[in-house]
Amino acid sequence: MLWKLIYLLKVYFSPLNVFKYITFRATYALVTSLLVSLLLGPFIISRLKRLRLEQVIREYGPQTHFVKAGTPTMGGILIILSVLISSIIWFNLSNPLVLISLFTLISFGILGFLDDYIKVSKRNPNGIGAKKKFMCQVVLAFIISLLMVKYLGNKATVLQVPFFKRIHPDLGVFYIFFATLVIVATSNAVNITDGLDGLAIVPFTMCMGAYGLIAYLAGHIKFAQYLNILYVPYSGELAVVAAAFVGAGIGFLWFNAHPADVFMGDTGSLSIGATLGAIALMTKHELLLPILGGVFVIETVSVIMQVLYFKATGGKRIFRMAPIHHHYEQEGLPESKIIVRFWIVSLIFVLIGLSTLKIR
Ligand code: 57M
């Protein structure tokens, strides 16, 4: 928001006119959140250590994880703070879609923080409890979905289908439930994926970068017409929001890269996942999320397959351990190799997803 004050000074210094451009503010929102996360990181990590907010490792997990015991968790605080500081300077806080994004980040961040805090401070691996956490996610996502329908206007309940420019199903009142499902599913998919150093933050950052580009195009009537995508008024400002997340994601990776100095915790995974789902919905490209976020889909499906097969066969497993990143660990692959290969797969999914903007 501070950018508006600087912009007003353009009467005295005309180059300040550049502050009104989304591309300019997105660039500096990314730079700001990146620098803030790099500067705040060591301080936050030292505070998490001093407060003994450290990860407890499950005994039945991969042996290679035992050395991780004591790694500070709840590092998602760093991601959230970096985005919020960048938002004060560069976001258009009078834009309802921007405010919905921030409400999603903060509300799911508080939920994740409470879960982490109980797990770590009370040494209770159940946290606030899976059922209670899920219900809170559903209630928050439902509220966020109601806000979206209110501010996205008459196109709110319309879906765009990748590859098919003329198919625009309108879900009507059912859109609220669909949107709630997208937000909860994305939040939990990122949460499940966050099981190796950097494994969740890089695909998330790639997806956010893609949605930043999509938001810019969908919010620009000429680009929207050229690409035959729905023009979503005011969604262009979500490009600045997405850019801030990209910067915060890269900054967090500086500390979460293998061997990680900090884990994001549910504080991070639930909040960034929910916000990714919300931005996918607000740019009206929610059906692109399973393609762009292909790694999150693979991770989640591997768990569903494992649990269903385990129950159906009375104890047999498809994978040596789910989610699938643990399967490769049990196969003997080094963690760093698994992580980088998942990043490469994520990049392929993002490029395929973005190509659908043209192939339609
Ligand atoms: C989220 N949490 C990590 C860290 C991170 C149903 C089942 C799939 C649930 C799943 C589960 O518990 N998921 C919870 C994954 C945990 O990471 C913490 O959690 C936060 C994210 N929410 O920020 O604070 C562990 O992951 C490792 N880690 C890193 N680097 C990172 O940057 O190494 C995390 C971030 C950390 C650390 O070791 O402790 C997690 O894995 O729990 N359960 C599982 O994923 C378990 N799978 C399992 O039980 N499979 C079963 C059935 C149920 C499918 C099977 O295959 O038969 C595995 N995870 C672990 N141990 N840790 C296996 C057992």
Instruction: Using the mean position of ligand 1's atoms as its centre, give its distance from the Cα of residue 195 in Å.
Output: 5
Establish whether residue 264 lines the binding site of ligand 1, counting it when its CB lies within 6 angstroms of any ligand atom: yes
Q: What is the model's pTM?
A: 0.96
Provide CB contacts within 8 A for 326, sequence distance 6+: 61, 62, 195, 319, 320
Given the CA of residue 307, which atom of ligand 1 is nearest to it? Answer: 54
Tell me the per-residue pLDDT of 112-127, one tens digit each, with 9 for 90 and over: 999 999 998 888 888 8
pLDDT band (50, 70, 90) for residue 87: very high
Mean pLDDT of the chain: 95
Give φ, ψ of 314 to 5 degrees: 70, 30
**Ligand 1 pocket mutation, candidates 79, 202, 263, criterion most atoms within 8 A of CB:** 263
Ligand 1 close to Cβ of residue 346 (< 6 A): no
- CA end-to-end span of the chain: 37
Tokens of 65: 């994880």
Kindly report the protein residue whose alpha carbon is nearest to atom 40 of ligand 1.
195
Is the pLDDT at 59 greater than 80? The verdict is: no
Average pLDDT over residues 321-327: 96
Q: What is the DSSP letter of 358?
A: T
- Ligand 1 atom closest to the Cα of residue 73 is 24
Task: Decide whether any atom of ligand 1 lies within 6 Å of the 321 Cβ.
Answer: yes
Distance 181 CA to ligand 1 centre (A): 22
* 303, 301, 134, 158 alpha-carbon torsion, rounded to 10°: 180
Query: Does ligand 1 have an atom closer than 6 angstroms to the CB of 255?
Result: no
The residue contributing the CA closest to ligand 1 atom 51 is: 322
- Of 114, 123, 283, 150, the closest CA to residue 207 belongs to 283
Q: What is the pLDDT of residue 62?
A: 83
Instruction: Give the Å distances, CA to CA, from 340 to 115, 186, 190, 303.
Output: 29, 22, 17, 21
Among 12-16, 104-108, 272-276, 302-306, which stretch is predicted with the lowest mean pLDDT? 12-16
Residue 212 CA to ligand 1 center (angstroms) comes to 29
Across 31-45, 165-179, 258-272, least confident range: 165-179
- Ligand 1, pocket-test mutation among 57, 307, 321, 342, most atoms within 8 A of CB: 321
Reported as a pLDDT band with limits 50, 70 and 90, residue 158 is: very high
Residue 154: exposure state from Cβ atoms within 10 A (0-12, 13-18, ≥19): exposed
Which residue's CA is the closest to the ligand 1 atom numbered 57? 321
Ligand 1 center to 108 CA (angstroms)? 19
User: For position 170, what pLDDT does the model report?
Assistant: 95
Q: Which atom of ligand 1 is nearest to the CA of 199?
A: 32
| Region of poorest pLDDT, from 166-170, 191-195, 253-257, 258-262 | 166-170
What's the confidence (pLDDT) of residue 125? 82
